[in-house]
Structure 1
């Protein structure tokens, strides 16, 4: 098990929507004096309250900083709504919550972040506040002040600014007021601040007066003009103000609000501020003449005031005027001449460079606010905006909401009925393919990414004259799945498996364009792609990568080779949430959308700037149209899923396994020579056991206790599956019929999950089994349960699992189904994926074929015990059953 530094805590949203602080080896450190672990140990509400009320002004990693921002919104709302002795129920602002989610940085479980989850956590903060406040026995004001001096309920002084158009020399009026009391109708009553001197006169009320004026004192420390008004006592009187004085107040709004003063501006000002001239750049008004990243979009520039266009003369007049408030078109507007001029110049330079058209990637970065590192978005958002023209806006809307796309049908050539969400996926992929843009289909495992791709290929074959062949690159263990699914569901596709286990190497070497023109779909593995560099010289219709997390390491040789592929459009398929790790996201998008996220160095700098600003919205906005991710828990998906889905997990043999297996076949042939009766049955049964053990792991047969993961193809396949399960924070049951396999499996799984799981076998005391089941069902951090088939195959309720893995086959469907039903039974509310491990080219493969074809062998005898029937085979039949097909067994 890897050691984890408990000082490195990271936020973790579980599939059930709980927020945990979990040790994570690669998490950025939190300052030692910030006791996150202790706070979250009491519950998410207490942890968030600690973050939002106490850890103010401290440098935090982006993910924790984002949660602090969320919690501070609760405390802020508390300060502005609560009165002493009365804490009303505070509801979060739905629109602000949705914007906050858009800006969330990458973190584990970010895909489970929804308004409903945040609303629940908001309620948990509220409950924690009430509990902690009750335990102090003091006032809310004292409680918040003890957490951090920023939180102070006495900050109810108002600075009021109003227009006074009858006075041309001083067209503004200022008055400081305070909230005196709340009426019987629940309305706050304001009084001029001067009245506070009368209301709180006398020594007994002096403390209340001083408390009321604390926010003003704090503001005076930050704003010279407030200090001057306080010292001259002008703050207690109505004042005539010039535009310059009003402008000072507008500039210092953040400082005043931070001090606890509420500022009220003229009601005629939209959104509480004077209007600002707005520079609007629109891209993509008309369809481009080209498609893909070669597309060049039109670029148009305009300056407007509250939607009304300004003439060039008016813009020049504004730029020549003074900073602050200027009078134009019968209203006061806010002008920052330097900022306005700089933005206008930048957009004019862009327009000049884009006279022949703006490259699509540049337009998309600009639109997302991700150009120049995305740093201009927070600062200049109110002064400038980039909008999508009609064509680009419609296209992006279709990509973000593919449910509304025109339906495209694969027709009868697809021998399956697509589910509604799969139809949506095909429509989305079809649109991007027609635009020759990349796509990342990131549906949960088991939702049918394969059949969506097959349907797309059928549509393209039917609609495009002389379509180019498409290429799929996948882990070797998945080639058989793709080939069998294509044969089953899309027999009209002409498929070539470009792998020596299926197609002779010399045939692959001699492939020419004429032969490829007769092929629709080429399937190969990452390893085979490295050995066939000629594939990179072909321009494919689609280049598809399955299990795209395999190219998350940009420096890996197979990643570099995959990115050399030429295609009209590229598609990445993955079951993991790609946005949760920035480096993985960049590498996958460097394949699907080369250049969109810049170079690795550019992207690293961009990410740092986003993290520093706490503003990840530009990145999410940039990639969102090209990622389609549906969760098994989505309401419109779960209702349409079968209760359980059974999948074959094909495994190869390592060189050591292949050598041991081949020798065992030879030894069996020699042992059978002349053997008869009971002796022969014993030989057959012992060798069948030996074959199973070798297929599991060489150490199981050799008894050397080494159990090196790289020595077993099943361990390699288990790693591939668990990588996705870990990323999804799901739970898994792993069944084996061998007790001696349970401990090594649990050790290997523990290294993959980063935490321990559970084991149950025949030696587990009966008294302990109930506690193991309870822990697996209730503890969200217990990720796996390894069970021997006899001990764990019946009588247990383990519905917390989303996956069931049969590491080795019992060769008895009834027994396997009974074990599967430990997870799939009454009380299960999730789709269960059942993975059955089978080593190709071995006895496991051939018996699986017998089970699938439901031959008389299975019907009559197999369910009663396959081994007994196999002992009755002739020597020739038996050796043919167990022989090793080395090409199928050692796919790479």
Structure 2
């Protein structure tokens, strides 16, 4: 659907690094006169050029304002192009792009924003500019003038301010000049503005003179002192200025530059402005006596000038002096006595209150520039400097770059080999736990968050065998995964699954401290945590929440219960980019780092201020040490060829499914009585098909066409997985052996992704298949492809997919692998995750166990069709295979 300017549009960076203006009903509305949709319909470069050149001064949502700044940087670089000169634009270096990314506001796909992406977009703007210049036939100057008066480039007027130390009565000199021409060496040649009156004298050159002076006229509309200079014609002469005159120009720099005037300041002002005295505070020079969020850090402050401390007498003299420029230590400095005094008073109060130590959260907020006071926050950015002391700086450096941490290794207790990025993740988690702090491990799905946590638990157990157990809270569908991974890779961990599917309810109610002392890890679900309030009274070594997006709603019962847990450290695991959603970020950090982001109300106010200032760097600085996020697309993470990683996606049965399944088991037992030969084989095959259909969805067996997502555990599990994929803008192939399931699956997936996908089954015309494959491969907006296993299991190249889901099992590994290889094949450049859906406590579960435990036997027995082989089982053996374990099958 084409974009319209009436749509609510939000920027979105795709995994391929493309910038889109995507319709989003939750996006803040754009001003009526901002034609963003029309510009982006022409192409991303045209959209960014429009943003950067035509929306100056317009109130835009933070994300679009950030992209406007990016576009404006390109347009600003055009200002070096003189009249008639060929348009050449130099691209910023990687460091400039990376600094820009650091301050990016939340938006969809922020994790894909890299300096390479910005460099490519810079090139797209350049192509768009040349295209628009060619289509309009205008000069560059005329084109930019038509976009906004701020880009008036005609004349290149410069205001030059210089120090004149030989004249103590008027220590500054002012001269207005203009760029007359370009020398043969490419240098701009300046002339006093008075020469323009001579050069452009006469009626023929009157238009040129008016164009030259237009920026000065525009600036004079906002600057009274400049208007007076124009009226008196002093603008055309060299002037002796007092410090107050020079400071007046400094204060109006934005107005002058936005009008198109270039301002040159004294070369001795190294930063482009006179130096300012700063109230410098240092926190955390020494290790605190107590670690954790209750740690108290040392706090020391001084007033300094370029790093040199000022004496008390110098400080008093500055505060008693006049606002503006003051002479101290042989140079001019800029002073705002009110702001400097305000910040000094606040820091002195902090120093007094922190005599026994500054709370860690307060120190980190101060260091990041995140203040509870809007006015103070603005003052501090200009007149205060907060730095981390030696201990805190070293600690934060390690957290931001865990690759350099001292090696910690679970050793042979872990029955697996950690990848380098996983080793860094374990070191990072270990450091935070040793400090008594929380962590948000936000690695992409499939990068081994489970393995990193198990490694951490093994290391902690080896260091302190008698320590408190740790608690893991996860969705009920993932408990079996955690238990199986722990048994397989960390058999030395003593694991207790506190869930009715594994441990009887009466045993859970009787759980004692003595039992817990013999346990390293307790695993439970969000639902069970609500039913076992005693778990909140236990002091856990670590409290871990898997799929932490489950606690993004702070008002939900399960979120409140999770946050009651007592633990030395708290870890949140999530595969979704929490930094892209501020509300999610707050709720998760309210669990991992209570108080760091303030209350919900305080955080909402902070977010409002950051959005208003279009400056999200402080928040990113505050949370960055505690979020570790690695992407499958990062070649530093996966440096070798992409992997095919197979994962079990355990599913529960809904109450309706469980009732239908139990009834089918009873019906099968009755049907088998007295049956033999071909009749018996037919009965067994029909019931195996019925069990599969019931496990998929009740409507598939009942034929009622309802297909309600809530009626199927597999649909619920599909929702959990797709929520992450949609947030990551990743593509998925979904295989089913049933043609009648393809359309209901596609309808459900379309509601989750918010966009339609594709379907291919045996009834799809052969001529259409190539077009479907092309669309899936080339169209970034096509998120999923539902395929029937027989129709899509071979001959198709679908390497655009990062995920493969086997919604129902063929019970033949060779057939499933052939389907998986539609994505995992030559040309694939992504890590492919394969999710195999299995309903716990059902025939799917037991056949999966058979496949896992007796692989060779399976190859011999199941090749050619599992159902045919299963018909040879005895009655009791068959009924044992299909019976329902209600405790495992249903979510509690």
Distance 1:149 1:775, change over 3 A: same
Distance 1:79 1:852, change over 3 A: same
User: Which residue in the other structure is 1:622 paired with?
Assistant: 622
Do residues 17 (structure 1) and 17 (structure 2) align? yes
- The alignment partner of 2:120 has SS state of helix
Report the aligned-residue RMSD: 1.5
User: Which residue in the other structure is 2:209 paired with?
Assistant: 209
User: Which residue in the other structure is 1:680 paired with?
Assistant: 680
User: Which residue in the other structure is 2:484 paired with?
Assistant: 484
- The alignment partner of 1:47 has SS state of helix
Greater shift, 694-703 or 226-235, is seen at: 226-235
Distance 1:375 1:11 in 2: 30
User: Which residue in the other structure is 2:819 paired with?
Assistant: 819
Residue by residue over 1:582-638, the C-alpha shift from the partner in whole angstroms, topping out at 9 and shown as x without a partner, is 110011001000111111111111101100110111110110000000000111112
Residue by residue over 1:739-767, the C-alpha shift from the partner in whole angstroms, topping out at 9 and shown as x without a partner, is 00001000100110011111111111111
Distance 1:170 1:246, change over 3 A: same
Once the two structures are TM-superposed, the CA of residue 326 in structure 1 deviates from its matched residue by: 1.0
Do residues 319 (structure 1) and 319 (structure 2) align? yes
CA contact (8 A) 2:155 2:179 kept: no
User: Which residue in the other structure is 1:514 paired with?
Assistant: 514
- The alignment partner of 1:635 has SS state of coil
Distance 1:532 1:715 in 2: 28
Residue by residue over 1:283-331, the C-alpha shift from the partner in whole angstroms, topping out at 9 and shown as x without a partner, is 1111111111110111101111122110011100110011111111111
CA contact (8 A) 1:7 1:32 kept: no
- The alignment partner of 1:294 has SS state of coil
User: Which residue in the other structure is 2:57 paired with?
Assistant: 57
Distance 1:876 1:120 in 2: 66
Once the two structures are TM-superposed, the CA of residue 460 in structure 1 deviates from its matched residue by: 0.5
Distance 1:260 1:93, change over 3 A: farther
Residue by residue over 1:44-94, the C-alpha shift from the partner in whole angstroms, topping out at 9 and shown as x without a partner, is 101111111112222111111111111111111112345434101321254
Distance 2:244 2:12 in 1: 49
Residue by residue over 1:776-828, the C-alpha shift from the partner in whole angstroms, topping out at 9 and shown as x without a partner, is 11110100000000111111111100000000000011110110011111111
Distance 2:100 2:375 in 1: 17
Question: Gapped runs of 5+ residues in structure 2?
Answer: none
User: Which residue in the other structure is 1:750 paired with?
Assistant: 750
1:125-164 matches, cutoff 5 A = 125-154=125-154, 156-164=156-164
Once the two structures are TM-superposed, the CA of residue 33 in structure 1 deviates from its matched residue by: 3.1
- The alignment partner of 1:496 has SS state of strand
Greater shift, 214-223 or 91-100, is seen at: 91-100
Distance 1:595 1:379 in 2: 23
User: Which residue in the other structure is 1:541 paired with?
Assistant: 541
1:792-811 matches, cutoff 5 A = 792-811=792-811
Distance 1:863 1:465 in 2: 47
User: Which residue in the other structure is 1:829 paired with?
Assistant: 829
Distance 1:116 1:855, change over 3 A: closer
User: Which residue in the other structure is 2:227 paired with?
Assistant: 227
Equivalent residues, number: 891
Distance 1:138 1:81 in 2: 15
- The alignment partner of 1:222 has SS state of coil
Once the two structures are TM-superposed, the CA of residue 150 in structure 1 deviates from its matched residue by: 1.9
Distance 2:766 2:157 in 1: 68
TM-score (norm 1): 0.98
- The alignment partner of 2:127 has SS state of helix
CA contact (8 A) 2:641 2:829 kept: no
Distance 1:185 1:80 in 2: 15
Once the two structures are TM-superposed, the CA of residue 269 in structure 1 deviates from its matched residue by: 1.3
Distance 1:244 1:328, change over 3 A: same
Distance 1:692 1:440 in 2: 38
User: Which residue in the other structure is 1:72 paired with?
Assistant: 72
1:20-39 matches, cutoff 5 A = 20-39=20-39
Once the two structures are TM-superposed, the CA of residue 374 in structure 1 deviates from its matched residue by: 6.3
Distance 1:856 1:435, change over 3 A: closer
Once the two structures are TM-superposed, the CA of residue 652 in structure 1 deviates from its matched residue by: 0.7
1:242-391 matches, cutoff 5 A = 242-372=242-372, 376-377=376-377, 379-391=379-391
User: Which residue in the other structure is 2:456 paired with?
Assistant: 456
CA contact (8 A) 2:536 2:566 kept: yes
Once the two structures are TM-superposed, the CA of residue 97 in structure 1 deviates from its matched residue by: 2.5
Once the two structures are TM-superposed, the CA of residue 456 in structure 1 deviates from its matched residue by: 0.2
Distance 1:20 1:326 in 2: 50
User: Which residue in the other structure is 2:851 paired with?
Assistant: 851
CA contact (8 A) 2:731 2:800 kept: yes
- The alignment partner of 2:150 has SS state of coil
Once the two structures are TM-superposed, the CA of residue 373 in structure 1 deviates from its matched residue by: 5.2
CA contact (8 A) 2:155 2:180 kept: no
TM-score (norm 2): 0.98
Once the two structures are TM-superposed, the CA of residue 259 in structure 1 deviates from its matched residue by: 1.4
1:635-674 matches, cutoff 5 A = 635-640=635-640, 642-674=642-674
CA contact (8 A) 1:247 1:324 kept: yes
Distance 1:769 1:100, change over 3 A: same
Greater shift, 85-94 or 204-213, is seen at: 85-94
Distance 1:539 1:305 in 2: 49
CA contact (8 A) 1:648 1:835 kept: yes
Distance 1:664 1:175 in 2: 95
Once the two structures are TM-superposed, the CA of residue 413 in structure 1 deviates from its matched residue by: 0.6
CA contact (8 A) 1:746 1:759 kept: yes
Residue by residue over 1:839-888, the C-alpha shift from the partner in whole angstroms, topping out at 9 and shown as x without a partner, is 01111011111111225641322011111111111101110110111111
User: Which residue in the other structure is 1:872 paired with?
Assistant: 872
CA contact (8 A) 2:278 2:383 kept: yes
Distance 2:429 2:131 in 1: 51
Distance 2:270 2:655 in 1: 73
Distance 1:375 1:851, change over 3 A: farther
Distance 1:215 1:703 in 2: 75
Question: Gapped runs of 5+ residues in structure 1?
Answer: none
Distance 2:425 2:855 in 1: 37
Once the two structures are TM-superposed, the CA of residue 343 in structure 1 deviates from its matched residue by: 0.8
Distance 2:775 2:156 in 1: 50
Residue by residue over 1:669-728, the C-alpha shift from the partner in whole angstroms, topping out at 9 and shown as x without a partner, is 000000011111000000000000000000000001011101101001000100110110
Distance 2:877 2:802 in 1: 39
Residue by residue over 1:502-539, the C-alpha shift from the partner in whole angstroms, topping out at 9 and shown as x without a partner, is 11111111112121111000000111111111000001
